[in-house]
Amino acid sequence: MTLPLTFSAEVSAARAAGRPIVALESTIITHGMPWPQNRDTARAVEKTVRDAGAIPATIAIIDRQIRIGLEAETLDTLAQTKDVMKLSRADLAAALATGATGATTVAATMICAHLAGIEVFATGGIGGVHRGAEDTFDISADLRELSETPVTVVAAGAKAILDVPKTLEVLETLGVPVIGYRTDTLPAFWSAQSSNPIPLRMDNVAQIAAAQRMRGTLGLPGGQLVANPIPVAEEIAQTTIDPIIERALQEATAQGIAAKQVTPFLLQRIFELTNGASLTANIALVHNNARLAAAIAAELI
């Protein structure tokens, strides 16, 4: 059976020319911010990838096809579409089979990128182990995907609303390399540093690319997580953001927010409590990750 892949003209040309390509998720468009800021941010991140020497491939599920790269009109339409499914491994096939419109999370983007032959993916932060997971068992599918799908994911660590030490433990158990790019601690998403030591450190993209190639040579499944700190000039200090995260978590518990609703609720409340500073930092770190991902993709050519 033919894979349901549709490539944009730009991505098709890049594939034919052997140019580096960077996958981008689409939940930032449909679930991350309102119109037209979502469209403008998506276009700006794509431009950052191009300026860094690679071709962006924003991924979404539209009309029973995995769209690898979105034409300008398609991106505009998606950015204004309501009730878009937020897709992970569990519901990706169902969305394709039923004709639903879906935005891809980290896990789903990894799957689609691999099907399209794309080896590098830039995102904001991965999902992970939620606080209180010992009672709720709320653990993101992103972690297992990193252990199964051979894509290098560039992120500013795990989202800071999570239980980061437990997230690191699960990644270790699953055999996922967690590589700090020029850092000895795991970035804390909005903050450049944390108290969590990074398992591996690499200071240049050649090392990161070589590690990915060696995993393939050894027959090891899965990808790599490259943890790229937000630039210090654009971070929110941990001493500032941590009390805000705690307040948002307490509010979520009091209101009975659970399962897939937890992350969007927390991110929205943190946005409100920081007067928008959290979103500004989020956009900055996504651009920073896009630049690094483009450099890694070029090294892998």
Residues marked active site are found at: 25, 159
Angle between helices 89-98 and 141-148 (to 10 degrees): 90
**8-state DSSP, 130:** P
Decide: 105 and 127 in contact? Cβ < 8 Å.
yes
Q: Residue 185 burial (CB < 10 Å; 0-12/13-18/19+)?
A: middle
Decide: 131 and 125 in contact? Cβ < 8 Å.
no
> Among residues 116, 115, 107, 230, which one has the least CA distance to residue 174?
107
β-sheet bridge partners, residue 103 = 60, 86
| Rounded Cα–Cα distance for residues 140 and 167 (Å) | 9
> Among residues 178, 119, 157, 133, which one has the least CA distance to residue 241?
157
Cα-Cα-Cα-Cα dihedral sign, residues 243, 34, 44, 155: positive
| Rounded Cα–Cα distance for residues 111 and 113 (Å) | 6
Distances (CA, A) of 119 to 110, 213, 297: 9, 10, 7
What torsion, rounded to 10 degrees, do the Cα atoms 221, 224, 225, 226 define? 180
